[in-house]
Structure 1
Amino acid sequence: MAHRDVLWLDAVDQGGLIRSGELTAKELVDLSIEAIAQHNPALNAIVYERFDRAREEAAALGDGGGPLAGVPMVVKDLRLRMAGDPAYAGSTALRDAGVRAGADDALAARMRRAGLVVVGRGASSEFGVGVSTASRAFGITRNPWGERLSPGGSSGGSAVSVAAGFVAMAHGEDLGGSIRNPAAACGIVGLKPSRGLVGTGPTHGSGPGGMWTSGPMARSVRDVAALLDVMSGADTFLDGLDAGDARPLRVGLCSGGFDDEIAVDPRCTETVELAGRLLAQAGHHVEHGFPAQLKAIKAFHGQVMPVLAGGLAAELATVEKELGRAIEPGELEPTSAMFRQRAGVMSATELACALDWLETFGHHVLGWWADGHDLLVTPTVPRAAVPLDWFAEPRSAMDRTIDQLHFTAVFNATGQPALSLPLGVTDAGHPVGVQLVAAPGRDALLLRVAAQLERALPWRERIPAVHA
């Protein structure tokens, strides 16, 4: 059984075919590679092809293994290190240097032990900065739903690879919404796990304030749970999807902005309201409301900017060690250069004060969950179906970026699990994402509720214009 339709099964089903002998891992990997070769020129989702090694690894897999053994996937080309492979991070300096990782990092090793086969590395903006996926090093990544639509970012290459059917699942990385934002733009599921659930090391930590993490992206909630099992080493999320809750959940609904200064697309608002109705029909207690502290979201963004600047400066310092030389200002794109310049004039005191402010702010936000709420539902982004050139104008790019992070970045600072589901569509049929947020450590609850919504409002039959 080696037919292109197999690529549109979810990864758990693909793994089942391999275990049953109806399909070999190499046949499935070959199908994935064929799809990439045919459609990637139009989409520019994959920036490093790992085809020969993927075929070798698939052929070498033995019998047995977990539910995802032999399944092809894409990883984001940013921080993840895999032995023998480059990590370009959207950087011309890294692309031209040809540096290769000497060993797998901890996350790559877990995925390899699970039998997952990486066929390529997905495009990112330079060092993951911003909410689009374009770089001088590799050009513009396009959304399979429309050539003039942004795929979001910065895990855009991973999101596009899943949405277009190259692979059923992918690895993403999220510092302020970089998994959830492209998941919403491309019509797939993307999870930012709880802080500390998915460890990487030893090359990278979780950044200033613990805001950075890896997470799963897929077309189904089941696949997100299965990949989270691998990423975390927990082996409990997939089996726990059907576990019932002893009581109805208390759900807060925020269908507008956290403050009055953000404009939210009516279709984004409508889709959140729809999610609320579905949850109420499932027996949960749904009310309009959200943590009062989030009304100060503008102050949050003011405090988080020096932290992000410090994080990028630290990332560049790590990269310079890999290169064995300094990265010159002219080698950086404008936003990266601006962040490094900001970090260069920032004192340790300023950074420490910003981190302390964010921690205090986070405690107030988390109090809403401690007071008895289980779930918050918001738009993933305030604007759906963003044009490809929306962030191209330098004078407005930063303000527009901050706007698109309105609902997502705060939950990196609080360390909470947050997930985007493609529950709606625009009038033109383009995806609209809804974000669900739970208390820290309640990733399993988040996935169970997401599965309920998936059953009530399935999206799997929606196929983008460009697809395998």
Structure 2
Amino acid sequence: MLDYAQYDALGLAELVARGEVSPSELVEAAIARIERHNPTLNAVVTDMFEEARRVAAGPLPEGPFKGVPFLLKDLETVVKGVPMSMGSRACAGYIPGQDSEMALRLRRSGLVFVGKTNCPEFGLMGVTEPELWGPTRNPWNPEHTPGGSSGGSAAAVAARFVPFASAGDGGGSIRIPASCCGLVGLKPTRGRVPLGPFNGELWSGAVVSHALTRTVRDCAAMLDVLAGADVGAPYEIPPPERPFLEEIGREPGSLRIAYTTQSPLGAPVNAACREAVEQTAKLLESLGHEVAEDAPDYDGHLLAECYVTMYQGEVDASLRKLEKVLGRRIRPGDVEPATWALRVMGRKLTAGDFAFYKSHWNEPTRAVGRFFEEYDLFLTPTLAAPPLRVGELAMPGFERVGLKIINRLGLSGLLKRKIKVESLKNLAKMPFTQLANLTGVPAISLPLHRVGDLPIGVQFMARFGAETTLLRLAAQLETTDRWQKGEPRMVAAEAGATAVSEERISS
């Protein structure tokens, strides 16, 4: 018997290629795990089980992941004929009529889609607690969040529903849940993975799609599947010298690596998160890398202000675009109060306001560019705190009522102050990830620490287009004792429970 939960995606694909297991068996093992644990975790919100069974039974493309079950974040990856909620009541009844380019590339790789995962409304939060579906919980400790916005995907991978799942990152939404769930989370360089045909760029270029994985080699292999501009893409990055997967096991050389444990907002950083970076710095030195305490010279508060302003404008623009797709107006009751408040403030921005703050993106971008003339990598905590408790960032009931009243009365001064307070409160817990989105550089969160039963990731950033450097170092760190190789109790307690027969099922 083969224990499905112990294999990564490439491992399962190798079993399929050797005829030791069939795609249908793998799909049934994935479905069994989802049915067993999803009532506790609430990671999968739309199942595609019957379609998965049909696809697995038929001929599959001869791709690198032939026959491997896969879950899709219910936001960036659009699948023809499958309901898409984006975590919002506003999308009730929305069924796309066309696949996105990412969905097409995933299909061509041989993956079998088994469902779609939970996310906060329109991906706007660093936790996954939409009103529509309710909160997703962390497999390591269900009282805590798996992060967001790709929290459903992260919880599903950590719980071994599937070996990896799709994710997107506009301010940390791949790296935050990777840190919370003990996974590998790479945000590629801006433009590395296409967003077509529906979008050229999202959130003014801040959003990039990829996946959450358990192993570095799966991360690299997925990037090989997804990378490359599609027709009409606004960015086209020169391809790497060789496939990303071939970088796994290559020596990274002696790298110059800077690190900091200081929040760019001047807010407190939890001792465990600081320790994760400090211990990683020592490990890097022991591996022959040159490590120094340093950081790019930029105004963290200005960056946060630019990010929040972009956020407001993009929420209004996204809802306008959605209205066109749905053929109806979106009203306050269709979305959460905080989402509507962001839309109201977005409507009040002038074109000059938006352009002014967007122009300030150039300042940290130039600072980071100069920084990477001296260093190869920049190491920080992924988050300023261990995984938060479910509901910890939720607005209290009386404040929600107050926000609805403010929205209804159009009290823009009060609304602006409220949004600023809430935004800074949230960003204080996750202040390290937005820099990579605004500057476009690649960044990765790696599972190198733990506090109690909760994972803590560390983040590495690299110069524009240098995913190769990140992957080589990540693969090196994956072989060390610091790499957190454990698994959630619900997985360990079920060792062998989702085994599949070594006898191939003919289909």
Task: State the partner residue of 2:86.
Answer: 89
Structure 1 position 59, deviation (Å):
1.4
CA contact (8 A) 1:61 1:70 kept: no
Post-superposition CA distance 1:142-176 (Å, at most 9, x none): 11111210111110000000000000001101110
In the TM superposition, residue 330 of structure 1 has moved relative to its aligned partner by 1.7
Q: Distance in 1 between matches of 2:338 and 2:368?
A: 29
Q: Which residue of 2 aligns with 1:194?
A: 189
Paired residues of 2:9 and 2:65 also in contact (CA < 8 A): yes
Letter of the 2:445 partner, please give it. S
Which of 350, 353, 362 is matched with 1:350 structurally?
A: 353
2:219 aligned partner: 224
1:73 positional shift: 1.2
Question: Which of residues 215, 231, 237 in structure 1 aligns to 2:210?
Answer: 215
What TM-score comes out, normalization by structure 2 length?
0.87
Matched, 1:324 2:349: no
- 8 Å CA contact 2:170–2:203 kept in 1: the answer is no
In 2: Cα distance, 1:360 partner to 1:437 partner: 17
Name the aligned partner's letter for residue 454 of structure 1: E
Q: Is the 8 A contact 1:175 1:213 kept in 2?
A: yes
Matches of 2:7 and 2:481, distance apart in 1: 18
Counterpart code for 1:190: G
- Work out whether residues 176 and 405 of structure 1, in 8 Å CA contact, stay in contact via their aligned partners in 2: no
CA contact 2:448–2:484 (8 Å) conserved in 1: no
| Cα deviations by residue, 1:355-400 (Å, 9 ceiling, x for unpaired) | 111123311222100x221001100000012111211135675333
The aligned counterpart of 2:432 is 407
Mapping of residues 434-449 of structure 1, within 5 Å: 434-449=458-473
In the alignment, is the contact (CA less than 8 A) between 1:131 and 1:178 conserved in 2? yes
Q: Does 1:267 align with 2:269?
A: no
CA deviation profile, 1:392-419 (whole Å, cap 9, x unmatched): 1356753331113310011100001111
**What corresponds to 1:256 in structure 2?**
262
Post-superposition offset of 1:115: 0.6
The root-mean-square deviation of aligned C-alpha atoms, in Å, is: 1.6
- 208-217 or 18-27: bigger deviation: 208-217
- Where structure 2 has 5 or more consecutive residues not aligned to the other structure, the ranges are 229-238, 400-420, 495-507
Determine the C-alpha separation between the residues in 2 that align with 1:362 and 1:405: 19
Aligned residue in 1 for 2:389: 387
**Offset, 1:105:** 0.9
Instruction: Give, as a single letter, the amino acid of the residue that structure 1 aligns with 2:357.
Output: A
Aligned to 2:417: none
Residue 419 (structure 2) pairs with residue 416 (structure 1): no
Of 224, 229, 248, which residue of structure 2 is paired with 1:241?
Answer: 248
- 1:304 is aligned to 307
Give the SS at the match of 1:423. Answer: strand
**3-state DSSP of counterpart to 2:374:** coil
Correspondence list, 1:101-250, <5 A: 101-232=96-227, 236-245=243-252, 247-250=253-256
Structure 1 segment 346-385 matched on structure 2, within 5 A = 346-369=349-372, 371-385=373-387
Please report how far the alpha carbon of residue 314 of structure 1 lies from its aligned counterpart in structure 2 after TM superposition. 1.8
In the TM superposition, what whole-angstrom CA distance separates every residue of 1:195-239 from its partner, at most 9, and x where no partner exists?
A: 000002111232243101101211111111111111115671111
Residue type at the aligned position of 1:74: L
Determine the C-alpha separation between the residues in 1 that align with 2:481 and 2:211.
Answer: 21
* The 10-residue stretch of structure 1 (443-452 or 387-396) with the greater mean CA deviation from structure 2: 387-396
For the residues of structure 2 that align with 1:349 and 1:109, how far apart are their CA atoms?
38
Distance 1:368 1:461 in 2: 33
Give the Å deviation of 1:134.
1.0
Supply the AA of the counterpart residue of 1:107. M
Q: Percent identity?
A: 38
* Residues 417, 348 of structure 1: alpha-carbon distance in 2 compared, 3 angstrom cutoff: same
Q: Is the 8 A contact 2:83 2:94 kept in 1?
A: yes
Q: Distance in 2 between matches of 1:397 and 1:34?
A: 40
Contact 1:423 1:457 in 2 (8 A): no
> Which structure's relative contact order is higher, taking Cα pairs within 8 Å and 6+ residues apart?
2
Secondary structure of the residue aligned to 1:104 is coil
- Offset of 1:123 from its aligned partner? 0.3
Paired with 2:115 and 2:483, the residues of 1 have a C-alpha distance of 26
| Contact kept? 1:25, 1:70, Cα under 8 Å | yes
Give the whole-Å Cα distance in 2 for the aligned partners of 1:67 and 1:286: 37
Aligned counterpart for 2:73 among listed residues 73, 76, 80: 76
In 1, distance between residues paired with 2:310 and 2:387? 29
Counterpart of 1:250, as a letter, is: R
Q: Name the CA distance, whole Å, in 2 between partners of 1:444 and 1:314.
A: 34
> TM-score, with normalisation over the residues of structure 1?
0.94
